[in-house]
Chains A and B, each alone.
Chain A
């Protein structure tokens, strides 16, 4: 029980830190930290959505960054075509991600294991090359978003603090939804399928349709992260869909703790802060980052959340 309370305390501390961060930024005059953490919160949202299929559903998708691109391009392309309203851009971003997930999922879920990893990766790379070929929307060079999504005065995305809180609200909303989903009938079936598909079929559950719905929910959530990311950087390019980005998201999930509610947030915070500070110290930061991640993955079963649990018990 004490183990639970240690990881709970750390989680609570982290969440409180995220909520109070704009206050600190304002008091200390450190604007950079707010920008950095806006990015962290958005990628935590993406990692949380990946965790739904990877951690809870046992579906190792190696193409999750595709949704960051799809959500981002939906915002960028609509903005370019003169549709600046967020009330149109965001629903389109979510719908496009959902449709992509439905098609990719229906095809990929015919396979299992390594083949599933490879086929999701292949589809994401296809999305990457399609985006690179969109000459009208910048092709390889990407697309500048000159005006952030307009929510007609409801919220101003150009205001750093307001935008940060919008992202944080989206993250908390998604975590809340995931919490409800994993404890629902549907969530238990999906986790049962992760645990033992043969058994689930034998008691009467057709695997694929549950996994597909889960895949679509996850993709839609990540599309939201994509739409926010494009607004954050005022820019979207094929690079956000590149396979290394999908890898980063996987690392965040594994680092934080697969199949835990707050693990992906923890993973995103640690991963991106490490990346930020190590790259300030040396240009060879990847040489330190790589082994460090390897150590955590090798010796910290269950990621940071798992280690916190054991630290409390031990």
Chain B
């Protein structure tokens, strides 16, 4: 196998006596959609935060396309092609949808120390913003202030913002969180389209979505990767069933 796009090696992060990330290693190949699942408290968000640069690991390393990014700040990782969406929607609420996306494009199109020309009239940035909005189906809502967008629309906007930076790797932290059934289905369809263009690490609770989308799945329990493989292998894995899917099966059978 060629050099993986993202390589995580022996990552360790403790909070006091608790080991939230326990010797985690995983590889994401270019073009792959790699899902990370695990029960609540498994350390998924802690892991993601170390990938995005919001949290420093105590040991181990993270590299993107062969370059060590373990201790780079978030904004530098973004410049190297790592984009993310947030579990809890994080947008510029008093800006329009188009402004949100255009700013992400601006971050990757030359210096922002320009003080005089009207940035909203820069055709390149606006076109990039509209292209990304069209991509996620929000083209008609471009000039609406984010405050007035629905929750589902904001989740889609998060994706458009991430896409506008033309990333190599997209880290999606529970993109279906809080979405209704139809909205979830739309999101799955959207991700199915996007995965053709960009590698994706997907952290998600919605199991049907994960199994429909993922090339490979890593299962995180108590900070440790207990299994990693394609969806069929994960489904068949006894340890995974016991630790994680088992509980859910019991619930579904009773329901």
Q: Which residues of A contact B (CB under 8 A)?
A: 180-181, 183-189, 191-192, 195-196, 198-206, 210, 213
Give the chain B neighbours of A192 by CB distance below 8 A: 92, 95, 103
Per the bound structure, the CA–CA distance linking A198 and B73 in Å amounts to 12
15 A-B pairs with C-beta separation under 8 A:
A183-B118, A187-B115, A188-B103, A189-B106, A189-B112, A195-B95, A196-B93, A199-B161, A201-B73, A203-B103, A204-B79, A204-B104, A205-B75, A205-B107, A206-B73
Q: When each residue 36-76 of chain B gets 1 if its CB lies under 8 Å from chain A and 0 otherwise, what string results?
A: 00000000000000001000000000000000000001110
- The tally of CB-CB contacts under 8 A between chains A and B is 92
Query: Chain B CB within 10 Å — which of A187, A188, A195, A196 has the most?
Result: A188
Distance of B156 from chain A, by nearest CB (Å): 16
Distance to closest chain A CB from B196 (angstroms): 23
Task: Please tell me if B99 contacts chain A, counting CB pairs below 8 Å.
Answer: yes
A251 to B48, CA, bound (A): 43
Interface residues of B (CB under 8 A from A): 52, 73-75, 78-79, 83-84, 86, 90-95, 99, 103-104, 106-108, 111-120, 122, 161, 164-165
Interface contacts beyond A202-B74, A203-B164, A204-B107: sample of 19 additional A-B pairs, CB < 8 Å, sorted by A: A184-B114, A184-B116, A184-B117, A184-B119, A185-B111, A185-B113, A185-B114, A185-B119, A186-B112, A189-B103, A189-B106, A191-B95, A199-B90, A201-B75, A204-B78, A204-B165, A205-B75, A206-B75, A213-B113
B120 close to A183 (CB less than 8 A): yes
With a cutoff of 8 Å between Cβ atoms, the chain A residues found around residue B117 in the complex are 184-185
A292–B182 alpha-carbon span in the complex (Å):
52
- B95 & A180 in contact (Cβ 8 Å cutoff): no
Q: Which residues of B contact A189 (CB under 8 A)?
A: 103, 106, 112
Q: Which residue of B lies closest to A183 (CB)?
A: B118
Smallest CB separation, B32 vs chain A (Å): 22
Bound complex: CA of A270 vs CA of B122, how far in Å? Answer: 38
A201: B residues at CB distance < 8 A: 73-75
Asked if B92 contacts A195 (CB within 8 A), the reply is: yes
- Chain B positions within 8 Å of A213 at CB level: 113
- Neighbouring B residues of A206 by C-beta, 8 Å: 73, 75
Residues of A within 8 A of B94 (CB): 195
B113 touches A186 (CB 8 A): yes
